[in-house]
Structure 1
Amino acid sequence: MPHFIAEYSANIKDDIDFPEFFGEVNQFLGNTGVFPLGGIRSRAIRMDDYVIADAKHDYAFIHMTLKVGAGRDLEIRKGVAEELFKLIEAHFQPLKDRRLLAISFEMIELDPVLNFKSNNIHQFLNAQK
């Protein structure tokens, strides 16, 4: 963990370079020292069916969720979330300057018991050192 998920309205598909954005997000998360690099996943989900506000204009949205494993105290999670949202806002400000855009972000801590994983990427990265 963590998993970073961006849901976005289809009308901004051509305005976002997700590999570039996810590179920034993954680098930030890896550099916090809070999350192991091998657990970081970023992905985008285009939403083709949506209605925003009064539906009278070409509104757009991007909603991001960061799912993290349980066990980190609230202050650590809050600090990461605040800094990540600053990165998000800065990245999308040029798009927001050009069009009507709603940007939202939330961090979710997963249940410590009902969260299952299997991963060999950590071992691979450790062997690369």
Structure 2
Amino acid sequence: MPHFIVEYTDNIKNEANFSKLFEEINKVLIARDTVFLIGGIRSRAIEVNDYRIADGVEDDAFVHAVLKIGAGRSEEIKKEVCDALFEVMKDHFSFLMSNRYLALSMELIEFSEAGTYKLNNIHSRFKKDENLPVK
């Protein structure tokens, strides 16, 4: 963890450039490597094909992001990270927002480690004091 998951309406697929968004999002998270393990960062987008926004009259669109993190971080850290991530989103989608109706939103989901199951050998690439091979 953290996982940054975006749902977006299919009517912005060609303009959204999620690869660039995720590059910037991951930079924000990687810069906080004392808060989040780099090897646990995941960013992904899920296209939504069936939706209705507001009255359905315009070709409205939305981008809704969820940041999922494990419990235990301070309110100050959570706010600072979420503020930084939402600024990236606002900047990234500013052109789209100036040219169409678009709703941007983001929420934080914090969960207990109890009930989650993980196996990840990516972490070993980022451990400096471990005797594991680094490729």
Is TM > 0.5 for Structure 1 vs Structure 2? Answer: yes
Cα distance in 2 for partners of 1:116, 1:72 equals 20
Q: Secondary structure in 1 aligned to 2:87? A: helix
**Counterpart check, 1:5 vs 2:2:** no
Cα distance in 2 for partners of 1:124, 1:81 equals 26
Cα distance in 1 for partners of 2:114, 2:13 equals 36
Q: Which moved more, 1:96-105 or 1:13-22?
A: 13-22
Unaligned runs of 5+ in 2: 128-132
- 1:72-123 C-alpha deviation (Å, 9 max, x unpaired): 1111111111111111111111110010000000111112312221110001
Root mean square deviation of aligned Cα: 1.3
| Aligned length in residues | 129
TM-score (norm 1): 0.94
Q: How does 1:1-129 map to 2 (within 5 A)?
A: 1-33=1-33, 34-126=35-127, 127-128=133-134
TM-score (norm 2): 0.90
Unaligned runs of 5+ in 1: none
Percent of pairs with identical residues: 48
